[in-house]
């Protein structure tokens, strides 16, 4: 996978998560005169609350992935202390 595809995938995942989170938040908003009119919140405040939570989630997941990423282990080359048998005689165990 190339870098532009990874960036596009990350951007798409961000947009989908942002839309899913904001749609759930707007679905919970009271409609009509059933609720008393509370303080009005600006669009910027709502964007910070819901968008910030989404960005924070991406940051936490990315940090977790970086901290738990494993590198491939390459064993060291054999040293001179390893004895290599040159004959094919069977080894007798006592």
Q: Considering the domain boundaries, does residue 11 fall inside one?
A: no
Write the pLDDT tens digit of every residue in 26-35: 776 666 666 6
**What is the domain extent for residue 60?**
42-67
What are the residue ranges in the chain where pLDDT is below 50? none
Q: Considering the domain boundaries, does residue 58 fall inside one?
A: yes
Q: Got the DSSP string for 29-74?
A: S--GGGS-------HHHHHHHHHHHHHHHHHHHHHHHHHH--PPP-
Model pLDDT, residue 35: 67
Q: Considering the domain boundaries, does residue 50 fall inside one?
A: yes
Neighbours of 92 (CB within 10 A): 5
Model pLDDT, residue 62: 92
Model pLDDT, residue 34: 67
Tally of domains within the chain:
1
Question: Model pTM?
Answer: 0.35
């Amino acid at each position: 996978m190339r870098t532009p595809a990874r960036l596009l995938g990350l951007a798409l995942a961000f947009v989908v998560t942002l839309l899913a989170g904001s749609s759930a938040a707007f679905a919970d908003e009271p409609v009509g005169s059933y609720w008393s009119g509370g303080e009005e919140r600006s669009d910027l405040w709502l964007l910070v609350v819901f968008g910030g939570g989404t960005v924070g989630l991406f940051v936490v997941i990315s940090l977790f992935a970086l901290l738990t990423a494993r590198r491939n282990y390459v064993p060291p080359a054999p040293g001179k202390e390893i004895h290599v048998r040159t004959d094919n005689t069977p080894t007798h165990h006592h």
